[in-house]
């Protein structure tokens, strides 16, 4: 399923409902849903936050791939892939390693960078491409790797 969302935090709730439609119809486990929702929000919010003067919608696509035995039942191994396309935004490579010290004492902590840090840790695969002003992020998470 693919849908365009206005570039606004008001889109987060519709974005969640959109993904849930796909998850429900494909019997996706909570251990996959949570990190996928988290990744979708973090990536979408980054696109909103770093492109305040861009008005184009952000395109989001959610697909489910059945691995091995291609049957839709609770025991099948499934992989969820989320693609976000930001046409007109600045380049922002979400796969680049960033310095986040999660062992720092409280007084040295800042919230910056935690979203990307979480996505990088939760993804089975994370890809980013940018060409001619069009950024595309692909986040993949499969059942059997539900560490959240």
Partner 1 sequence: MFEIEYGDNGEVLCRGRLDAAQCEKALGFMDGLEGPSTLDFAELEYISSAGLGILLKTQKRLVGSSTGLKIINVNNHIHDVFRYSGFHTIFDIEAKE
Chain residues in the site for partner 1 (CB under 8 A) = 9-10, 12-13, 16, 30-31, 34, 37-38, 41-42, 45, 101-107, 109-111, 114-115, 117-118, 121-122, 147-148
Rounded to the nearest whole angstrom, what is the least distance from the CB of residue 16 to partner 1 in the complex?
A: 7
Please tell me the distance from the alpha carbon of residue 7 to that of residue 48, in angstroms, as a whole number.
6
Q: Which residue, 71 or 99, is less far from partner 1 as judged by CB?
A: 99
Please tell me the distance from the alpha carbon of residue 41 to that of residue 44, in angstroms, as a whole number.
5
Rounded to the nearest whole angstrom, what is the least distance from the CB of residue 46 to partner 1 in the complex?
A: 10
Q: Which residue, 38 or 66, is less far from partner 1 as judged by CB?
A: 38
Please tell me the distance from the alpha carbon of residue 136 to that of residue 23, in angstroms, as a whole number.
22
Q: Which residue, 2 or 109, is less far from partner 1 as judged by CB?
A: 109
DSSP helix/strand/coil, 4: strand
Rounded to the nearest whole angstrom, what is the least distance from the CB of residue 74 to partner 1 in the complex?
A: 19
Q: Which residue, 71 or 110, is less far from partner 1 as judged by CB?
A: 110
Using a 10 angstrom Cβ sphere, with 0-12 exposed, 13-18 middle and 19 or more buried, the burial of residue 37 is middle
Rounded to the nearest whole angstrom, what is the least distance from the CB of residue 148 to partner 1 in the complex?
A: 4
Q: In what order do the strands lie in the sheet with 2-5?
A: 2-5, 58-67, 77-87, 134-142, 125-131
């Amino acid at each position: 399923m693919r849908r365009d969302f206005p570039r606004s935090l008001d889109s987060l709730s519709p974005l969640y409902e959109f993904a849930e439609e796909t998850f429900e119809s494909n019997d996706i486990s909570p251990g996959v849903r949570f990190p996928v929702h988290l990744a979708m929000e973090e990536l979408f919010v980054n696109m909103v936050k770093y492109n305040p003067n861009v008005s184009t919608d952000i395109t989001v696509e959610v697909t489910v791939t059945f691995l091995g035995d291609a049957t839709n039942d609770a025991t099948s191994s499934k992989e969820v892939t989320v693609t976000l396309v930001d046409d007109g935004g600045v380049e922002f490579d979400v796969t680049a390693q960033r310095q986040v010290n999660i062992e720092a004492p409280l007084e040295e902590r800042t919230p910056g960078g935690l979203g990307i840090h979480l996505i990088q840790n939760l993804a089975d695969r994370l890809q980013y491409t940018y060409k001619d002003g069009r950024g595309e992020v692909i986040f993949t998470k499969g059942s059997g790797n539900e560490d959240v």
